[in-house]
Amino acid sequence: MYLHLFLVFVAAACLTPRNLVAADGDRPAVSVSVVKVEKDFSFGYIKRAGSITAIRKVRISSEVGGMVERLFFERGDRVKRGQILAEIGTSKIRLEVEQALTALKAAEIQLEKVKKGSRAEEIAISEAALKEADAALRESEEHFRRIEALYGKSAVSTSEYDSALRAVESTRSRRAAMVQQLSMAREGARKEDRAIAEAQVAQAGAAVALAKDRLFRSVIRSPIEGVVSHKAVEEGEVIIVPPGAAVAQIVDSSSFKVEVAVSEMDVVNVRENSLLQFTVDPLPGKTFNAEVTFVSPAAEPLTRNYVIELLVKHPDKAMSDGMTARVRIPRAEAGAVTVHPSALTEKDGSVGIYVVENDKAVFRRVDVGGYKGDRIIISKGLVEGEFLITNPAIVKEGTKVTY
């Protein structure tokens, strides 16, 4: 996995000058530079590829269905918090609000009318009706008294007497009804009538509140400041109920985190709140710091790796969501062998080094295990005490050497 890191040195190896390399055993020995392989007990690191992710990445959805009437953004636009992004079915919902307000006004007028009770002319009509009932009662009573006197003298029949009596009772009932009607007109509406009218006002008010809420939600606003990373709709499209369809995605480019997976051998060297360094491929020559905010307590089931999250300190303006970060993970190499990158070369597609054996250059394939400062850790292929050729470009397999 480290092969790509050494392409520069491999290319240098391919440019070996022929006049410097011994062709066979008759050629004189080539003078080379060597170093004795020794173990380094200092602390090194390995690089692990991770992903840069915006800490705040919001998917904007519509809470109401309807036609996308207007859009106020394009992909890549920077938007502020609360800025209007779109209007969904707003015109129709405005009509619903107006209708609800009209119904509320009518209910309020009816309630006011009920509270005030009958008008003056209605009371006057009731009073006039009562006077007529009084006059009719007096007339029927006088008529009954005459019939009663004649009935006592047997001058009228029983049926005439009964008819006069029923007339008195009927006029008395009508008068009682007129008295009650006048009393109600003067008293005003009953409690039940008021309760009904008040309930109608409350219901109409709730309808207004619901319509206004729908109107508010039909106007989509950005909940954060950031950059539009995705545009999901166009003007004229219809968002079908149920609502929740995506309209856009906003990314806050002011804060980022890095997620990286490490092996069980390396996770033990990472602690929360510690600082690690990382580089970004599209930003060569720059090194960034990040604070470890989370170390997974359990390995991923499939990879058996542990996820680490880091908060980027002072992110670069050119840094974007989704970029690859190469994080330096501490690694304790007990007695690790390290070499300078210039000592690495390539032969038959394998990365390795040249060591001196019996005064000849011998190619040795090696495994790269990490980094330690500006040196490379060799995890396999070198033995302490061997002599390593540091200028491999001037030798090949079997070249006689002197140092």
Task: Give tens-digit pLDDT for 149-160.
Answer: 988 888 888 888
78 and 227 within one domain: yes
Inside any domain, residue 235:
yes
Domain final residue, candidates 303, 332, 361 = 332
Residue 205: inside a domain: no
CATH number of the domain that 183 lies in?
1.10.287.470
Residue 172 has pLDDT above 70, yes or no: yes
Q: What is the pLDDT of residue 1?
A: 44
Residues 6+ apart with CB under 8 A from 401: 29, 30, 31, 32, 356, 359, 360, 361, 389, 395
In this structure, are residues 278 and 259 in contact, taking their beta carbons and an 8 Å threshold?
no
d(CA 328, CA 53): 18
Inside any domain, residue 94: no
Greater pLDDT, 12 or 309: 309
Q: Look at residues 203, 230, 251 and tell me which one is the last residue of a structural domain.
A: 251
Tell me: pLDDT of 143 over 60. Answer: yes
pLDDT attached to residue 13: 41
Burial class (CB in 10 A: 0-12, 13-18, 19+), 389: buried
Tell me what pLDDT residue 19 has. 41
Query: Whole-angstrom Cα distance, residue 97 to residue 227?
Result: 33
Q: Are both 30 and 168 inside the same structural domain?
A: no
Same domain, yes or no, for 79 and 227? yes
User: What's the pLDDT at 110?
Assistant: 83
Backbone angles phi, psi at 247, to 5 degrees: -110, -40
Domain end: 142, 173, 188, which one?
Answer: 188
Q: In three state form, how does the secondary structure of the chain look?
A: CCHHHHHHHHHHHCCCCHHHCCCCCCCCCEECCEEECCEECCEEEEEEEEEEEECCEEEEECCCCEEEEEECCCCCCEECCCCEEEEECHHHHHHHHHHHHHHHHHHHHHHHHHHHCCCHHHHHHHHHHHHHHHHHHHHHHHHHHHHHHHHHCCCCCHHHHHHHHHHHHHHHHHHHHHHHHHHHHHHCCCHHHHHHHHHHHHHHHHHHHHHHHHHHHHEEECCCCEEEEEECCCCCCEECCCCCCEEEEEECCCCEEEEEEECHHHHCCCCCCCEEEEEECCCCCCCEEEEEEEECCCCCCCCCCEEEEEEEECCCCCCCCCCEEEEEEEEECCCEEEECHHHCEEECCEEEEEEEECCEEEEEECEEEEEECCEEEEEECCCCCCEEECCHHHCCCCCEEEC
Least confident of 23-27, 141-145, 216-220, 397-401: 23-27
Q: CA nearest 188: which of 126, 238, 135?
A: 126
Give the structural domain span for 310.
48-55+255-332
Q: In percent, how much of the chain has pLDDT > 70?
A: 87
Q: Does residue 150 sit in the same domain as residue 171? A: yes
Please give the mean pLDDT across all residues of the chain. Answer: 85
What pLDDT is stored for residue 114 in this prediction?
73
pLDDT of amino acid 12: 40
What does R_g of the chain's alpha carbons equal in angstroms?
Answer: 49
Total structural domains within the chain: 4
**Span 69-90, mean pLDDT?**
92
Question: Are 149 and 184 found together in one domain?
Answer: yes
pLDDT of residue 20: 40
203-259, pLDDT tens digit by residue?
A: 999 999 999 999 998 999 999 999 998 998 899 888 876 656 789 999 998 899 999
222 assigned to some structural domain: yes
Provide CB contacts within 8 A for 188, sequence distance 6+. 115, 116, 117, 118
| 127 beta partners | none
pLDDT score, position 402: 93
When pLDDT is cut at 50, 70 and 90, the band that residue 2 belongs to is very low
**Over 90: is that where the pLDDT of 286 sits?**
yes
In a domain, 167, yes or no: yes
Looking up residue 231, the CATH number of its domain turns out to be 2.40.50.100
Predicted pLDDT of residue 188: 60
- Are 67 and 80 found together in one domain? yes
Torsion sign across C-alpha atoms 347, 351, 354, 357: negative
Residue that wins the pLDDT comparison between 375 and 56? 56
CATH number of the domain encompassing residue 390: 2.40.420.20
Q: How far apart (Å, rounded) are the C-alpha atoms in residues 4 and 349? A: 12
The pLDDT of residue 273 is above 60 = yes
CATH number at residue 320: 2.40.30.170
207 found inside a domain: no
- The token duo for 304 is 């058996």
Q: Is residue 124 part of a domain?
A: yes
Q: Which two structure tokens, joined as six digits, stand for 330?
A: 């501490």
Confidence class for position 62, pLDDT limits 50, 70, 90? confident
| Same domain assignment for residues 310 and 344 | no
169 and 21 share one domain: no
The better pLDDT of the pair 171, 16 is held by 171
Looking at this protein, which amino acid is placed at residue 81?
R
pLDDT of 190 over the 70 cut: no
Q: pLDDT category, 42, cuts 50, 70, 90? A: low
For residues 35 and 179, state if they share a domain: no
Look at residue 120 and tell me whether its pLDDT is greater than 80. Answer: no
Q: What is the pLDDT of residues 302-360, one digit of tens each?
A: 999 999 999 999 999 889 899 999 999 987 655 678 888 989 999 998 999 999 999 99
Of residues 245 and 68, more confidence is placed in: 68
Distance from the Cα of residue 99 to its chain's centroid: 34
Instruction: Determine, yes or no, domain membership for 153.
Output: yes
86 within 8 A of 70, measured Cβ to Cβ: yes
List all residues 6 or more positions away from 181 whose beta carbon is below 8 Å from its beta carbon: 126, 129, 130
